[in-house]
Amino acid sequence: MEYRNLGRTGVKVSQLCLGTMMFGRKTSAQESIRIMEHALDQGINFLDTADAYAAGETERIVGKALADNGRRARTILATKAFFPLELSDPNARGLSRRHLIRACEASLDRLGTDWIDLYQLHRAQADIPIDETLRALDDLIRAGKVRYVGTSMFPAWKIVESLWASKELGLNRFVCEQCAYHLLDRTAEREVLPAARSFGLAVIPWGPLSGGLLSGKYTRDDRSTEGRWQGGKDNFGRPVTPAAYDVMEALAAHAQDKGCTPSQLALAWNASQPGVTAPIIGPRTMEQLVDNLGAAAVAVDGEDRERIDAAAPPMSTTLRYYDAAMALDLNPNFGRW
């Protein structure tokens, strides 16, 4: 397992990050802990979760696993806040000082830890001044409850605004961005990845397999396979486009030539992209974890990149994914997830 610096920090994180969104939802607590322990045994030291996953149950599972195996001190633990856990309370959501401090303390309790290595804003919010958010995060760092702070799905202009405000006000700056990024939607390459590279932010892409589409289990002729994209659409109603199937088929053929699985090639390509620190894998089963971990042994060279770019050109979108996950306040579902 390769280890890379988390942006400009001195923290070393594994080239793959274990995402836990399935824990406590489609994956039982017992199986979730087994998956975590195997990932840690194989060299992963970077875990990502969120308070919104399974209404807080995921954080409890992660905290219990780290406490039981005694590996908390060696693990870079990341969590996120933004989405509401209490739908009836208008203040139990978003990026206000009130909510973030309360959410952080609740996450610490569920995780059973005294500190969070990386505390991330799960989404941006236009109607909260960024200085209010940054001051709250800075206070959490100074209190020793948080080590570093980051963002998720922030547009490039918002990232730059945040860095400018941190410099002007003498506050701790964001060290990473967690964006949606994969072969079927390379939108992040247009502005977010260049901004992150310019300002020294780590990039930890989520959904590098597009919810399983790039795993090879879905085909153009058979859409009956169980999973997020069963029937040719995901749970948000996004359809798999003909162009997306073209990319998936090209990826499968390329992977066969390299002697690896499509998911391993997609992850290895993601991890090798300029500016990317650690793609987040989100296995539902032990089988999926073992397959994903195999990506660490897959080398991607210049010829591989040329072949992949021919199928999925840089900055292209063959499946609307990135912008559909922004959750901007123009969306009628904003704040209700």
Q: Is 112 left (phi over 0), alpha (psi -120 to 50) or beta?
A: left
Q: C-alpha distances in angstroms, 24 versus 122, 252, 287? A: 19, 31, 17
Helix axes 130-142, 97-111, angle to 10 degrees: 40
Active-site residue, from 53, 119, 218, 245: 53
- What is the length of the chain? 337
Q: How many other β-carbons are positioned within 10 Å of the β-carbon of residue 240?
A: 21
Residues contacting 150, CB < 8 A, separation 6+: 78, 118, 119, 120, 121, 174, 175, 176, 177, 178, 201, 202
**Contact, 322 vs 188, CB < 8 A?**
yes
Quote the Cα angle for 51-52-54, to 5°.
105
Strand partners, 178: 152
Q: What is the DSSP letter of 17?
A: E
CA dist., res. 151 & res. 158, Å (int): 10
User: How many CA atoms does the CB half-sphere of 225 hold within 13 Å?
Assistant: 16
CA dist., res. 186 & res. 197, Å (int): 16
Q: C-alpha distances in angstroms, 289 versus 26, 127, 264? A: 14, 39, 11
CA dist., res. 161 & res. 293, Å (int): 36
**Contact, 150 vs 176, CB < 8 A?**
yes
Active site residue 218: no
CA dist., res. 315 & res. 330, Å (int): 24
Q: Which residues are designated catalytic?
A: 53
